């Protein structure tokens, strides 16, 4: 049952740090949940890349402002702040370009700020061990040179300062227990629109035919390949199995570096790459999968994340093979297949077992969908947010 609409239609401004990829998927998800609650929602953010990615869902207004280094960022920052006029400001990620903007707006408007944390930003730079200790000469270069490090809005020094200001938020939402233990806040795991992602609407064989996957047993990874996501372990497992109809299908994702090219150069015979698709088309894509693979590595970055690929597979009633990292064992408890991280041998063994008892694997997929509907759906998110935002009015 969907939560009741808010009695008084209020506006919420959702600020995302980089509309070319940084936190955008989470921002869209939160915005859609807020729309379910009958809030008037706008998404605003800087655009540091060539284009908005991913494309916004239909019916969600998005306003982009040019992203650039300091001090040139000050002008578009003023434009962004002028645009933010929600009764509540919802900042995605504790970054200067989102949470920093929200706190600045709060100074003048006194509007409540909610901070959403879906990643540990400093984990990309060594976590708590990172420190900025420049010499006087290095500091001068970092500040004064046109391409100086401290002119970059996402320099880890600014991320650290932003983390130190987390307590200034009126409320905090987090999507993993790791982040809740670190920052506090309300647990708000990533949900899926289980009405859109409904396996009854799609025929897997038809999807495989349409997207050039017919004749393959499809291990699907919908997202951006990164070293901590463990795709190398899946590919090593495919080498061990050496079964010619198995393929790892990587769908969409950003290309922040050439990591996916490195994977293709070494294991190209086992990989099929599909382009980006709108979110409305993704259920049909995921329908083509036999198994959804989420082989996270055991790193601080991975522990802090809630892989959206989990709910893609769960909502579509797919067998899911993942690793015992972060919240994943809790999310997949009783409804998925779990192996130790960094263990291609266990992945190979589990894949063999899945296909040898395919009927049981499909039954587990159905249980995964039911768990997704109950605990990891947009309706479940809406119920949590309705209570939280009601306290801010």
Is 3 inside any structural domain?
A: no
The pTM of the full predicted model, rounded to 2 decimals, is: 0.91
Query: Is 174 in the same domain as 220?
Result: no
Do both 176 and 211 map to the same domain? no
Query: How confident is the model over 165-180, as a mean pLDDT?
Result: 98
The radius of gyration of the chain from alpha carbons, rounded to an integer in Å, stands at 21
What is the β-pairing status of strands 246-251 and 11-16? unpaired
The answer to whether residue 358 sits within a structural domain is yes
Residue 3, pLDDT above cutoff 70 = no
Torsions phi, psi for 12 (to 5 deg): -125, 125
Whether residue 216 lies inside any domain: the answer is yes
Whether residue 5 has pLDDT greater than 70:
no
Residues 151 and 28 in one domain: yes
With respect to residue 26, please indicate whether it lies within any of the assigned structural domains: yes
What's the gap between Cα 133 and its chain centre?
A: 32
d(CA 380, CA 300): 27
Task: Verify that 250 and 368 share a domain, yes or no.
Answer: yes
Q: What is the DSSP letter of 170?
A: S
Q: Is the pLDDT of residue 6 over 50?
A: no
pLDDT of 375 strictly over 70: yes
Residue 85 lies in a domain: yes
Q: For residue 59, report the phi and psi dihedrals to the nearest 5 degrees.
A: 90, 5
- Residues 84 and 107: their CA atoms lie apart, in Å, by 13
Q: Which uninterrupted H or E stretch holds 139?
A: helix 136-144
Rounded to whole angstroms, how far apart are CA atoms 144 and 141?
5
Judge whether residue 258 has pLDDT over 80: no
Helix (H) or strand (E) holding 265: helix 259-267
Asked if residue 153 and residue 119 are part of one domain, the reply reads yes
pLDDT tens digits, 281-323: 999 999 999 999 999 999 999 999 999 899 999 999 999 999 9
Burial class (CB in 10 A: 0-12, 13-18, 19+), 215: exposed
Is residue 76, in this structure, part of any structural domain at all?
Answer: yes
Decide: residue 277, CB within 10 A, 0-12 exposed, 13-18 middle, 19+ buried.
middle
| Residue 116 resides in a domain | yes
Q: Are residues 208 and 129 in the same domain?
A: no
Is residue 168 located within the same domain as residue 203? no
The closest of 254, 257, 252 to 272, measured between CA atoms, is 252
Do 296 and 156 share a structural domain? no
Q: Quote the pLDDT of residue 55.
A: 87
pLDDT of residue 256: 60
Boundaries of domain holding 146 = 11-191+378-390
Domain-embedded: residue 1: no
* Number of domains within the chain: 2
Do 382 and 371 belong together in one domain? no
pLDDT (tens digit per residue) in 96-130: 999 999 999 999 999 999 999 999 999 999 999 99
- pLDDT tens digits along 16-46: 999 998 789 999 999 999 999 999 999 999 9
Per-residue pLDDT of 212-242, as tens digits, reads 999 999 999 998 888 889 999 999 999 999 9
On whether both 245 and 364 belong to a single domain, the answer is: yes
Task: Let me know whether 228 and 366 are in one domain.
Answer: yes
Q: Are residues 237 and 361 in the same domain?
A: yes
Would you state the pLDDT for residue 2?
Answer: 43
C-alpha to C-alpha distance for 46 and 73, rounded to whole angstroms: 9
Write the CB contacts of 357 (distance below 8 Å, at least 6 apart in sequence): none
* Continuous segment of H or E residues that includes residue 63: strand 62-66
Q: Report the mean per-residue pLDDT for the chain.
A: 94
- Contact between 262 and 237 (Cβ < 8 Å): no
End-to-end CA distance of the chain: 24
Instruction: List % helix, strand, coil for the chain (3-state, nearest 5).
Output: 45, 15, 35
Q: For residues 46 and 16, give the distance between their C-alpha atoms in angstroms, rounded to a whole number.
A: 8
Query: What CATH number corresponds to the domain at position 314?
Result: 3.40.50.2000
Q: How far is CA 303 from CA 7, 97, 181, in A?
A: 38, 24, 12
* Average of per-residue pLDDT across 262-268: 91
């Amino acid at each position: 049952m969907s939560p009741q609409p808010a009695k008084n239609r209020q506006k919420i401004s959702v600020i995302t740090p980089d509309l070319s990829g940084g936190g955008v998927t989470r921002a869209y998800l939160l915005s859609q949940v807020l729309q379910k609650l009958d809030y008037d929602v706008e998404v605003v953010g800087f655009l540091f890349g060539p284009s908005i990615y991913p494309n916004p869902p239909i019916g969600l207004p998005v306003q982009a402002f040019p992203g650039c280094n300091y001090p040139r960022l000050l002008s578009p920052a003023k434009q962004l702040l002028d645009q933010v006029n929600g009764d509540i400001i919802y900042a995605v990620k504790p970054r200067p370009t989102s949470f920093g903007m929200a706190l600045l707006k709060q100074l003048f408007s006194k509007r409540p700020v909610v901070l959403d944390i879906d990643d540990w930003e400093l984990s990309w730079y060594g976590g708590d061990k990172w420190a900025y200790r420049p010499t006087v000469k290095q500091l001068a270069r970092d500040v004064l040179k046109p391409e100086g490090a401290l002119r970059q809005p996402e320099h880890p020094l600014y991320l650290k300062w932003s983390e130190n200001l987390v307590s200034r938020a009126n409320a905090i939402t987090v999507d993993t227990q790791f982040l809740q233990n670190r920052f506090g806040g309300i647990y708000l795991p990533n949900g899926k629109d289980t009405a859109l992602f409904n396996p009854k609407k799609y025929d897997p064989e038809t999807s495989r035919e349409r997207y050039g996957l017919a004749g393959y047993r499809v291990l699907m990874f919908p997202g951006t390949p990164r070293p901590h996501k463990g795709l190398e372990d899946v590919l090593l497992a495919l080498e061990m199995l050496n079964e010619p109809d198995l393929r790892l299908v990587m769908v969409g994702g950003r290309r922040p570096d050439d990591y996916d090219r490195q994977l293709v150069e070494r294991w190209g015979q086992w990989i099929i790459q599909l382009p980006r698709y709108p979110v409305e088309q993704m259920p049909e894509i995921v329908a083509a999968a036999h198994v959804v693979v989420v082989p996270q590595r055991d790193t601080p970055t991975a522990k802090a994340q809630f892989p959206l690929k989990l709910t893609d597979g769960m909502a579509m009633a797919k067998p899911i093979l993942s690793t015992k990292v972060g919240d994943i064992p809790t999310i997949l408890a009783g409804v998925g297949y779990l192996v130790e991280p960094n263990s291609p041998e266990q992945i190979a063994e589990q894949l063999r077992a899945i296909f040898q008892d395919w009927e049981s694997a499909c039954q587990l997929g159905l249980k995964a969908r039911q768990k997704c509907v109950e605990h990891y759906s947009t309706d479940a998110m809406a119920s949590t947010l309705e209570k939280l935002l009601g306290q801010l009015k």
